[in-house]
Structure 1
Amino acid sequence: MKLLVKYISFLCLLFCTSFLLAQERNDAINSEKRFTVRGSVIESDTNKPISNVNIEVGGGAYTTTDALGEFKIVAKKGDELTIKHKDFETVYYIIEDSERIKVKVEPNKIEEYRSKLFKSKANTQVFKSLIDSAEVYLKKDAKKSIQFIADALKDSRSVKQNSEAYEVLGDIYTYWKQFDLAVSNYRISIQNRTSNAVKIKLAKAYQLNKNYQESLSIYNEIDKKQLSNWQLVSLYEGLGDVHQNTKAFDASIDAYTKGLEVAQKHLITPKITDLNSKLAQAHINNGELQEAQLRFSNSLKLASQENKRRGVEEKVKVADFQNNLNDYSSEIELRKEALDDINDIESDSVFDNKSALTPQKQNYKIGNAYALQKDYGNAITYLEKSIEEADDKEDLIVQKDATKKLSDVLRDAGEFDKARIAFENYISLLDKVYVKREQEISQAARFSQDIISKQNRILSLESDRELSESKYQLNVEQARTQKLIIYSLIGGVLLLLVTAFLMFKYIKQQRLANNLLALKTLRSQMNPHFIFNALNSVNSFIASNDERTANKYLSDFSLLMRAVLENSEEDFIPLEKEIELLQLYTKLEHFRFKDKFDYNITVDENINVNNFVIPPMLLQPYIENAVWHGLRYKKSKGRLDIKITQTKPDEISIEIVDDGIGRKKSKSLKTEHQQKQNSKGMGNIKKRVSILNAMYKDKVDVFIDDFQNKEDTGTKVVVTLKKD
C-alpha cells in the first residue's frame, strides 16, 4: 500500500514536469519550421541598393547585404528581423512567411561638425575640472556625469576640448549600455578631432550595438603603424570579438592570436590573460576542445598571478568549460576554490546579482554538478545553500532555478513529499520573478527616457553654440543659415514623430509579450493545482483499500490529464473540447461523491459548439468549488446543473448551479490555510479573464451570486462567452 501511495505521488510530480517540458517541446518543434527569407535594402528616393547592411534574426542567424543590396537569411514565422546600418535608423520587421522583402529606407544626412577655433581664450582649468568630475561619477550616477559634460561643453573653447567632452560622453553611454548613443558621440568626437584611440572605441561601440560591418570597417581603416602597443592589442582583440559575434571563428582565432603575440612581445600582462581566455572560447565554438583546454590552462595560471578577483573570474570560466566536457569532479573542485576566494574578497568588492561571481550562483552550479554525478546528498546541501544565499541577497532568478533543481534532485532521490514542497515553492517564485521583471522593464524605460532627454539637451546646446557662432559670418550667408535652421527643425519634428511611432510600437509589443507571459505563468499555476486536487480522490480510494475502484478512477483520470495537457498551451480552445473535458471531470467527481449529489449537463441543440471558443480550464474550478465546498457539506443529497444556452447569435451563456451550503457558510467552515489557497485559485481565474478581455476586447464575462433564498443558498455562476 505504501509503495502505491509513493507511486501515485511520483505520478503527480511527473505530470507537473511533463506540462513544463511540453512547452519546451513545442518551442523545439516551432524552431524546426524554418525557411529562407530573401530580400533587398534600397534607398527610398533613388532606389539605389545599400551594401553591408547588418541583417539579424533576434539572437540567431546573421548576414549582410551584397553589392546589389540583396540578402538571404534562415528564419521562422514570428521572428523579428533587425536591419541596421550607420546611415539610417534601425528597421524592425516581423516575418510572417517566406515572402520576398523589400526594405526602403531614408539615409540620414549626417551634418559635418566644423572644426573651428574660437577667438576667445579657453578657460582650461574649469573645463578640465568638469571633465574630471564627469569621469568620477561615470560608474556611479549616469545623469550627474552627463550633466557635468553638458556644463563642460558650455565652457569649451576649442575643437580639441569638444572632442574630449564627446569622447567622455561616449564612455558614459558605453558603460551604461546605451550603445547607439555611444556611437553618435564617438563620431562627433572624431569629427571634431581625429583620434585612433576614439576610433577603436567607436569600433567597439558599433560591435556592442551589433553593427558588425561598420565595426569591421572602422578597425580595418585604422593605420596600425600609428598605434601604441596597447592600442594595437586592443584593435586585434576587437576584431576577434566581431568575428566571434558573426560566427567567423577561424578569423576570430587569427585576430586573437595576433593580439596575443603583440601582448607577449611587449609584456602586456592583463591582455595576455584576456586573450588566452578568449582564444579558449573561440576554440570551443570552433570544436577544438583540446586547444581550448590548453588555452584555459594558460589563462588560469596567468590570472592567478594578477589579483584574486581576476583569478576567480577565470576559475569560473574554466569550471563552465569542465561542465561542457562532463568533467564534473574537476568542475566541483574549481568552483569550491572559487567560493573560498569569493568569500575572501567579498568584503572588499561589491558583486551585484548579475555577476557570475556570486556565492549563490556558484553553490547552485556545484549542486547541479553533484546532481549530474547522482550524488544527491551533496547536491541537496549545496542547492539549499544557494537558495538561502539567494534569498538573503534577493536574487530571485537564482533562487527560482535552484528551487526547481532541488525539486528535481529530491524527486530523483525518492523524497517525493519534499520534492512536491520544493516544486510548490518554485511555482510561487515564478510569480515574484514576473513582478520583478515588470518593475525592471519600467525602470529601464524611465532611465532610457532620462538619458535620451539629457542627450537631446546636449545636442541642442551644440546647435545653439553653432548658431551663435554663425552670427559672426558675413551677411551673404544669413539667408542660407536661416534655411538650414528651418530644415533642421523640420527634420527634428520628423525624427520625433518617427521616434514616437517606434516607441509606441515597442510599448505595444512589450505589453503583448507581458500579457502572454502572465497567461503562461497563470496557466502553469492552475494545472499543478488542478492535478494535486484531483488526485485527492485517488488517495481516498487507496485509503479505503478499494484498489480496483482506484485503478478504474486513475484510468479515467489519465484521460482527463491528457486532455488538460493538450489544451494547456492555448489561450482559447473550441467549446466542444471544453464540454468533453467538463463531462469527464464531473463524471469523476460524481464517482467520488455519489451519495452527495446528482448532476446534469445540458447543451442547447441550436448551439454550434464549433463556432465558439473558450479559455481552457476556465469552468473546471467553478465546478470543483461547487462539489468540494458546496455539495460535499450538504446534509441531504444535492444537485449540480450545468446549462449551456444561446442568448444572442454571437453570444452564449454557461450556467453552473448547485444547491449546496453556499459561499458564506462554506467560507466559515474553512481553515485559514484553505481560505488562502482558494483565494489564490479564484484570483488566478480573475487575472486570466482580465488579461484575455484586455487582449481580445471583452470576450468573457463571469457573474457569481447565491442560487436560492433558503438555508442552503447554493451558488450560481454565469459565464457569458462572445464569438470572435
Structure 2
Amino acid sequence: MFVAGFICSTSIAGTKIYVDTTAIVQHQLDTVTSIKSDTAKIGYLLNAGSVYRNEWHKREQENPFLIQALELAEKIGDSLQLARVYNAMCVDQRNVARYLLAVNYGKQALDYASTTKDSVLLSTILNNIGVAYRRLDDNQQAFEYHMRALHIAEACGNWRSQAIAINSIGNIYLSTEQYDKAIASFQQSLEIEKQHHNNLGLAINYANIGLALEGKNKYVQAVDYFLKSLSYNELINHRQGKLISYNNLGQAYQKLGRYSLSLDYFQKALQLSDQIGDVIDVADSYISLGYTYLLMKKYPEAYNQITKGLSIAQSIGSKSLIMKAYKALQEYYAAKGNFKQSMEMLEKALNYKDSMLNDKISNRMAELEVLYQLDKKNAAIQLLQKEAYLKDVESNRNLILALSLMGFIVVMVIGGYFVIRHRELKIRQRALQLELQSLRSRMNPHFIFNSLNSIHKYIWTNQPEEASDYLTKFARLIRMILENSERDFIPLSSEIEFLSIYIELENLRCNHSFEFVLQIEESIDTEDVMIAPLMIQPFVENAIWHGLAPKKGGGILKISMKLHEQQKLRVEIEDNGIGRQKAEEIKMQKNPKHKSMGLRLTEERLKLLQHSLPFNLQQTQIVDLIDGNQKPCGTKIILELPVEFAYS
C-alpha cells in the first residue's frame, strides 16, 4: 500500500533535525505482517496510530495505521476489536478538529462495545463522544454522554473514567460560566486523582479550578491553583502542561496588574514553545507579551512584540492568532489616539473573524460529505450482503420473491433517506450563510461610525470619563457579538446582557431621550434557557430609531419575556414612540428605498429554525398602539423564539 511522505522535526541542543518519516511508517506497517495473532496485530496498529497522530504528522487526512487496523478487525469480525478501533478513530478525528466524524466513529464504537461485557471500554467510549460533542458546543449531548460514562464507571469501579467524566462535566459548567458548579466538579475529580496519585490528573484539575476562579474575578486564588498545577507539571516534566501553566499565570498576573510577573511568565512560555518547536504557541506568546506591554503603556515594546507575533501568525496562516494580533493593535492605536488606524485594525480583525466562520462552515460541510459517503458505502455493503443471501436461497422461488421485494423496499428507504439528508444539508448550509450575513448586517459601518463619533465628541468636549465609559461598553458589545455569533444557542442571560449594553449605548447617542424597562418572568432561569443569538436586537433597533428617536424625549422602551408552551420564549418589545404610520412618512422623505436587512434576515432565520422543531412558531406580530383619542401612541412587537434547556 502507498503511504504519502512527510517530514517531522525534532530539536537537540537548539539544532533542528528533520527526518523523513515515510520509511518509518512503511517499516511499521510491514512489521505487522510478522505478528502471528490478529488481536496482537490490531493492538500494534492502534499504538502506532496514536504515535503517528501525536508525534509525526498531525494534519494528514487519514491515519494509515487505523485504516489497516479497521480492515483487519472487519475481516475477523470481532466486536471487541471493532469497538477498540472505532474508539481510536474517534479520538484521532477529534484531535484534528473533525468533531462530526469523531462523533460518528464514537457511536459506531459504542454499538460494538454494547454487545461486549467490557464496561471499562464502554465508559471510555462514552467519555470520548462527550468530549467531541463539547467541542461542537453541544453541551446538552456532551453532558448526557459523560453522565452515562460516570454511571458505568462507578458500577464497575473504574476510577480513571470516573475522574475523566467528572472533570469533563466541570468543563461544561466552565464553558457556560457556571463557575461554582465547575469548581465543585473539579474538586471531586481532584480527590479521585489524589487517591490514586495521578500527578497529571492533579495538574489538570488544579489548572481548571484556577480558570473557574479567574472567571469569578478571584485572580489571587486563581494564581495559587495555577502554581500548584505548574508544580505537578514540573514534577512529571510535562512540557505542554508547563506551557499552559505559564500562559495561565501570565494572564492572571496581567488581570491583577502585576505586569512584571506577567511578562516573566509569558517570556517563559515563549522560551518553552520555541524549544518544543510549536510555532503557533511562539506567535501567541509574542502577542500576549505585546498586550501586557500595552497595559503598561510601554507602547514601542508593545508594538514590537505584537507585530512579531502577527508576522509569525501570517507566515503559518493562523487566522485566530492574526485576528488576536489585529485586536491588540486596534487597542494600541486607540491608546495612541489614532482612531482611524484603530478602526482599520478592527475591520481587519472582523474580516478574519468572518473568514474563520467561513472556514468552519466549509470544514463542517466537508465532514458531512464524508459522512454521506460513509453512509452510501454502508448501504452498498448491506445491498451486496442481501444479494449474496438471495443467491444462497435460489432454489426457493417464493423466498427469492419475498427477499427481492424486501431489497426493493430497502433501496427505496435508503434512497429516501439520502434525499432527505441532502435536503437537510442544504437547509443547514443556508442557515449558516444567513448567520454570517446577519452578523455583517449588525456590525454595519454606520453603527461603528456613529459610536466612534460619540467617543470623539466626548474627547473634544473634554469629557474623558464619559469617552472611556462609552468606549469600554462599545468594546464589550463588539466582543459579545464576536463570541455569540458563532454559537447556535446561547444562555438567555448572555442575550439580556448584550441587549442592555446595546440599549445603553443607543440611549447615550439619543441624549437619554428614553427609559428602558426589562420584565422577565420570575420562573425563568436565564442560565438554563438557551436561545439563538442576536435575534431580538433588530426589533429593538427598529423601535429606538423609528419609534423613540423622532419623539425627542419622554420615550419608554419596554421588553418583557416569558416562557410559552414549554419550548417557546414569548418576547414583547413595546415603545411609546410616534407609531408606524408616522415613521413610514419620515422614511419616505429621507430614504424611500431603504429596507431593514436585519429584520429580514431574522425572519428568515426563524423560518429555517422551524424545520428542526417538533412544534409550530407563531409568526411575528406587529401591533399599532392607540390612545383614547384614537391617535397612534407607539408600537408593540410580539415574537416567539425556540428555546433549549442546558441541563433540564
Tell me which interval the TM-score lies in, with the shorter structure as reference length: 0.5 to 0.7
Partners of 1:564 and 1:430 lie apart in 2 by 30
> Deviations for 1:586-644, whole angstroms, at most 9, x for unmatched residues?
xxxxxxxxxxxxxxxxxxxxxx7633686xxxxxxxxxxxxxxxxxxxxxxxxxxxx96
Question: Cα gap change, 1:312/1:189 in structure 2, threshold over 3 Å: closer, same or farther?
Answer: same
1:218 to 133, 149, 152: 149
The Cα shift of 1:362 comes to 2.5
* 1:340 aligned residue: 271
Secondary structure of 1:141's counterpart equals: coil
Q: After TM superposition, list the pairs within 5 Å mapping 1:370-385 onto structure 2.
A: 370-376=293-299, 378-385=301-308
2:232 to 302, 307, 310: 302
* 2:564 aligned residue: none
The Cα shift of 1:304 comes to 2.7
Secondary structure of 1:314's counterpart equals: helix
* 1:604 aligned residue: none
**Contact residue 246 and residue 269 of structure 2 kept, 8 A:** yes
Partners of 1:236 and 1:148 lie apart in 2 by 32
Partners of 1:251 and 1:465 lie apart in 2 by 53
> Deviations for 1:110-140, whole angstroms, at most 9, x for unmatched residues?
xxxxxxxxxxx99779877876786676544
Is 1:276 equivalent to 2:206 in the alignment? yes
Question: Cα gap change, 1:465/1:185 in structure 2, threshold over 3 Å: closer, same or farther?
Answer: farther
Is 1:141 equivalent to 2:141 in the alignment? no
Question: Cα gap change, 1:236/1:467 in structure 2, threshold over 3 Å: closer, same or farther?
Answer: farther
* 1:314 aligned residue: 245
The Cα shift of 1:440 comes to 0.5
* 1:456 aligned residue: 375
Q: After TM superposition, list the pairs within 5 Å mapping 1:42-441 onto structure 2.
A: 139-143=58-62, 148=68, 151-152=71-72, 155-175=75-95, 176-178=98-100, 179-208=102-131, 209=133, 210=139, 211=141, 212-222=143-153, 227=158, 232-246=159-173, 247=178, 248-249=181-182, 251-264=184-197, 268-282=198-212, 292-305=222-235, 306-346=237-277, 349=278, 351=280, 358-376=281-299, 378-412=301-335, 415-416=336-337, 419-430=338-349, 432-434=351-353, 436-437=355-356, 439-441=358-360
Is 1:505 equivalent to 2:427 in the alignment? yes
The Cα shift of 1:499 comes to 3.3
> Deviations for 1:213-242, whole angstroms, at most 9, x for unmatched residues?
332123212356564xxxx33431322221
**Contact residue 109 and residue 125 of structure 2 kept, 8 A:** yes
Partner amino acid, structure 1, of 2:290: G
> Deviations for 1:245-280, whole angstroms, at most 9, x for unmatched residues?
24433641343123322341xxx4433432332344
> Deviations for 1:62-109, whole angstroms, at most 9, x for unmatched residues?
xxxxxxxxxxxxxxxxxxxxxxxxxxxxxxxxxxxxxxxxxxxxxxxx
Is 1:445 equivalent to 2:370 in the alignment? no
Question: Cα gap change, 1:458/1:282 in structure 2, threshold over 3 Å: closer, same or farther?
Answer: farther
**Contact residue 237 and residue 255 of structure 1 kept, 8 A:** no
Question: Cα gap change, 1:422/1:399 in structure 2, threshold over 3 Å: closer, same or farther?
Answer: farther
Partners of 1:244 and 1:132 lie apart in 2 by 28
Partners of 1:511 and 1:521 lie apart in 2 by 16
Partners of 2:257 and 2:403 lie apart in 1 by 68
Partners of 2:45 and 2:385 lie apart in 1 by 21
More moved, 163-172 vs 462-471: 462-471
The Cα shift of 1:466 comes to 6.2
Q: After TM superposition, list the pairs within 5 Å mapping 1:539-578 onto structure 2.
A: 562=509
The Cα shift of 1:285 comes to 5.9
More moved, 294-303 vs 270-279: 270-279
TM-score (norm 1): 0.49
Partner amino acid, structure 2, of 1:187: L
Secondary structure of 2:433's counterpart equals: helix
TM-score (norm 2): 0.54
The Cα shift of 1:196 comes to 3.5
Aligned positions, number: 443
Partner amino acid, structure 2, of 1:423: S
Question: Cα gap change, 1:426/1:286 in structure 2, threshold over 3 Å: closer, same or farther?
Answer: closer
Larger radius of gyration: 1
Question: Cα gap change, 1:427/1:237 in structure 2, threshold over 3 Å: closer, same or farther?
Answer: closer
Question: Cα gap change, 1:140/1:153 in structure 2, threshold over 3 Å: closer, same or farther?
Answer: farther
Question: Cα gap change, 1:220/1:395 in structure 2, threshold over 3 Å: closer, same or farther?
Answer: same
The Cα shift of 1:444 comes to 0.9
Partners of 2:446 and 2:76 lie apart in 1 by 59
Partners of 2:61 and 2:302 lie apart in 1 by 42
> Deviations for 1:352-405, whole angstroms, at most 9, x for unmatched residues?
xxxxxx233323333333443444454444334444444444444444444444
The Cα shift of 1:151 comes to 3.9
Partners of 1:379 and 1:515 lie apart in 2 by 34
The Cα shift of 1:452 comes to 0.6
Question: Cα gap change, 1:376/1:407 in structure 2, threshold over 3 Å: closer, same or farther?
Answer: same
**Contact residue 380 and residue 406 of structure 1 kept, 8 A:** yes
Question: Cα gap change, 1:296/1:611 in structure 2, threshold over 3 Å: closer, same or farther?
Answer: closer
**Contact residue 79 and residue 116 of structure 2 kept, 8 A:** yes
* 1:611 aligned residue: 584
The Cα shift of 1:301 comes to 1.8
Partner amino acid, structure 2, of 1:184: K
Partners of 1:448 and 1:245 lie apart in 2 by 24
**Contact residue 142 and residue 172 of structure 1 kept, 8 A:** no
More moved, 304-313 vs 459-468: 459-468
**Contact residue 380 and residue 410 of structure 1 kept, 8 A:** no
Partner amino acid, structure 1, of 2:285: Q
Partners of 2:585 and 2:380 lie apart in 1 by 60
Secondary structure of 2:288's counterpart equals: helix
The Cα shift of 1:148 comes to 4.6
Secondary structure of 2:114's counterpart equals: helix
Partners of 1:127 and 1:465 lie apart in 2 by 26
Partners of 2:386 and 2:89 lie apart in 1 by 22
More helix by share: 2
The Cα shift of 1:339 comes to 1.5
Partner amino acid, structure 2, of 1:611: E
**Paired-residue identity, %:** 9
The Cα shift of 1:694 comes to 9.4
More moved, 447-456 vs 521-530: 521-530
Partners of 1:183 and 1:392 lie apart in 2 by 35
Partner amino acid, structure 1, of 2:124: K
Partner amino acid, structure 2, of 1:362: S
Partners of 2:357 and 2:144 lie apart in 1 by 34
Partner amino acid, structure 2, of 1:420: F
Partners of 1:219 and 1:478 lie apart in 2 by 48
> Deviations for 1:656-681, whole angstroms, at most 9, x for unmatched residues?
xxxxxxxxxxxxxxxxxxxxxxxxxx
The Cα shift of 1:185 comes to 1.7
The Cα shift of 1:297 comes to 1.8
Partner amino acid, structure 2, of 1:220: H
Partners of 2:154 and 2:387 lie apart in 1 by 37
Partners of 2:239 and 2:51 lie apart in 1 by 25
